Amino acid sequence: MTSTAPQLGKNRRKKRGSVLGNTGLYLAVGIAALLFLIPFYLILRNALSTDPEITGENWKLLPSFQWGNISELFDDQTVQFGRALWNSTVVAVLMTVGTLLVCSLAGYGLARIPYKHSNKVFYVVLATLMVPTAVTFVPSFVLVSSLGWVDTYRGLIIPGLFSGFTCFLFRQYFLGFPKELEEAARVDGLGYWGAYWRIVVPNSLNFFAAIATITFISGWNAFLWPLVIGQDPNSWTVQIALSSFMTNQTVNFHLIFMATAVSILPLVFVFLFLQRWLVQGIAQTGIKG
């Protein structure tokens, strides 16, 4: 009896401490989630409001629910926001697919194909990460312009297909990929391409999904390069269309917020759908080792 009483007291204190710790953790996570959601609330609130409600002194918690702002956004012929959404979708999707193909093949070649200069090539790829984007911007534009790719999807997509950092991530990942699976594929008569396409890719979908998510978000949010290449309004992407609502004469606040709310929906859906693979893929990059 004397020995069990202190033990019961310790167990109760541990349970009480565990409950308090969990409560504090949930409270901290709830506060962080609330702070994270405030910008989204402000975007939605202002998107369904009028300009006086957005800029006026009498600020209200709830908007007046101006659903007509949606039709006004897509009926505006000076911006053609629907066309901009389509352009951004095409650019982001094709850039994601192309980057996955080009960079994964480059990373797989550097990691698996024996070549006496493979390390030198890898160092050259890493060296490109140290070159500022501003240095290559003008030569890239001159090249694209000379090819006649201004105001085309080719000019928007092809120059950004290869990324030295993405190639580095793929190489690091493939270095940790089990060689036994590839050796078994070669016994069955598959070459490097067959092993890559039939063995490596199907067993690396988590990592591919992570890179795809990051690349899609980057392509969707690109601004400077589409601004220079997409000189015709029909070639504008979402980010360029958003900036067009702010001019030297007028600022359409309600259209800016409505366009912002519409433009972030694809990113939210992509992130929610791929978040599990995103976390798992980043954990498998090999950077931690």
CATH number at residue 207: 1.10.3720.10
Classify residue 54: in a domain, yes or no. no
One domain for residues 87 and 176: yes
Classify residue 214: in a domain, yes or no. yes
- Predicted local confidence at residue 262, as pLDDT: 92
One domain for residues 197 and 264: yes
Classify residue 163: in a domain, yes or no. yes
Full domain range(s) for residue 273: 70-283
100-135 pLDDT, tens digit per residue, is 999 999 999 999 888 888 889 999 999 988 988 888
Q: How far apart are CA 232 and CA 155, in angstroms?
A: 13
One domain for residues 101 and 37: no
Q: Mean pLDDT over residues 30-50, rounded?
A: 90
One domain for residues 147 and 14: no
Q: How many CB atoms lie within 10 A of CB 80?
A: 17
For tokens 């650019």, name the residue: 91
Q: How far apart are CA 136 and CA 257, in angstroms?
A: 33
61-71 pLDDT, tens digit per residue, is 888 888 998 99
Classify residue 30: in a domain, yes or no. yes
Classify residue 260: in a domain, yes or no. yes
One domain for residues 129 and 205: yes
Q: Mean pLDDT over residues 32-56, rounded?
A: 89
Q: Mean pLDDT over residues 184-204, rounded?
A: 88
One domain for residues 100 and 212: yes
For tokens 């900036």, name the residue: 243
pLDDT for 158 beyond 90: yes
One domain for residues 30 and 100: no
230-242 pLDDT, tens digit per residue, is 888 899 999 999 9
Classify residue 58: in a domain, yes or no. no
One domain for residues 154 and 241: yes
Classify residue 60: in a domain, yes or no. no
pLDDT for 54 beyond 60: yes
How many domains are there within the chain? 2
Predicted structure pTM score: 0.84
One domain for residues 43 and 184: no
One domain for residues 43 and 82: no
Q: Mean pLDDT over residues 245-258, rounded?
A: 81
One domain for residues 119 and 229: yes
Segment among 60-64, 71-75, 210-214 with least mean pLDDT: 60-64
